[in-house]
Amino acid sequence: MTIPTQTTISTLIEQYDALFFDSFGVLVDGVNPLPGAVDLVDRMNTEHMNYFVVTNDASASLDSRVKTFASKGFSIPKKRIINSGSQMTGYISENGLQGAPTLVLGTQDAKDYATSAGAKLVSLDSGEEPDIVVLGHSGPYDWESTLEDLLALFSRRFQQNNPVCLVLPNPDFIYPNGPGVFGFGAAAFVNTLEQALERLHGRNDSLIATKLGKPYAPIFNAAIDRAGTANAVMIGDQLETDIFGANSAGIDSAVVTTGINRRSTADEFGDVPDELTPRYILASLV
């Protein structure tokens, strides 16, 4: 059984060559900066520390995210941000999907990630069917009708032995959206679609979404490559994404208590599987 220990941000800075931070629930509560976060970023910038914001956000461009951080008092350069949306480039390139008709459900920035990777955008009501469907953001949509349209498309193409690729950049099921407020992520709707397809056709890899963000390997590989070291610690608020992903990637993990996770002592992790258990509990960024 893995037993997490209490630690401080100063201890983590001393022990590791790189620090990875989740955004929502760690640096911001979804609206405002969390206590100590702005001062910590200023300290890391001043002392030229090797840090990165590793976020599942796929709804905003890196430039937009820099501006949003700045509006909240953070000075975080674009080179310090690694997000799930930017992993689209690698996915499309590695799978030879440049030029493939692609439906992106999400913001304009989410669509821009796909087009910059070489995809050709189509809409649900266009005459050309997509070969790729990207769920880049959870709203706003009439999800009942959208899921019914997608269910019909995926089911028919699967039966034609020409399955559509389903891509989920952001695997967050829920996310903090302000103090005590939470929103459903795109993963909640992908999960519904996957379960419906399994009921109809049985379990098949071609009916399961490719996930690009935490806890999956692509975003952690990108973070480790950018940092130039695997002697890193992932600081996050969600056991299922931040902590599980870091543990799977072979790097250490620290959980905060300011986001989704509410466990604050080692005893409270007694019923948590080892793969979801952090090495550390970080009570504060101060």
pLDDT tens, residue by residue, 70-102: 999 999 999 999 999 999 988 999 999 999 999
Q: Running along the chain, 286 residues long, what does each successive block of 10 average in pLDDT?
A: 92 98 94 96 98 94 96 97 92 93 94 92 89 88 92 97 96 85 91 97 97 95 97 97 97 95 94 97 93
Decide if 108 contacts 159 (C-beta within 8 A).
no
Last residue of a domain, one of 192, 211, 230: 211
Angle subtended by helix axes 143-159 and 186-201, to nearest 10: 40
Structural domain span for residue 169: 93-211
Same domain for 238 and 207, yes or no, is no
Residue 41 shares a structural domain with residue 125:
no
Do 10 and 67 have their domain in common?
A: yes
Regarding whether 13 and 28 lie in a shared domain, the answer is: yes
Looking only at the bridges linking them, the beta strands covering 5-7 and 280-282 are parallel
200 and 125 within one domain: yes
Same-domain status, 108 and 204: yes
Residue type, 210: T
Give the per-residue pLDDT at 272: 96
Report residue 86 as tokens.
């930017």
Q: What is the pTM of this model?
A: 0.88
Are residues 207 and 97 part of one domain? yes
pLDDT at residue number 139: 76
- State the amino acid at position 201 in one-letter form: H
- Enclosing H/E stretch for 225: helix 217-227
Do 77 and 218 reside in the same domain of the chain? yes
Do 100 and 201 lie in one domain? The reply is yes
Last residue of a domain, one of 177, 211, 245: 211
| Domain count within the chain | 2
Give the separation between CA 223 and CA 20, rounded to whole angstroms: 8
283 is written with which tokens? 């009570």
- pLDDT tens readout for residues 31-67: 899 999 999 999 999 999 999 999 998 889 999 999 9
Task: For residues 55 and 101, state if they share a domain.
Answer: no
What CATH number should be reported for the domain holding residue 251?
3.40.50.1000
Distant-in-sequence, close-in-space partners of 93: CB < 8 Å, separation ≥ 6: 117, 118
**First-residue to last-residue Cα distance in the chain:** 29
Query: Domain boundary at 168, 190, 211, which?
Result: 211
- Same-domain status, 186 and 105: yes
136 plus 203 within the same structural domain: yes
Contact in structure between 50 and 19 (CB atoms under 8 Å)? yes
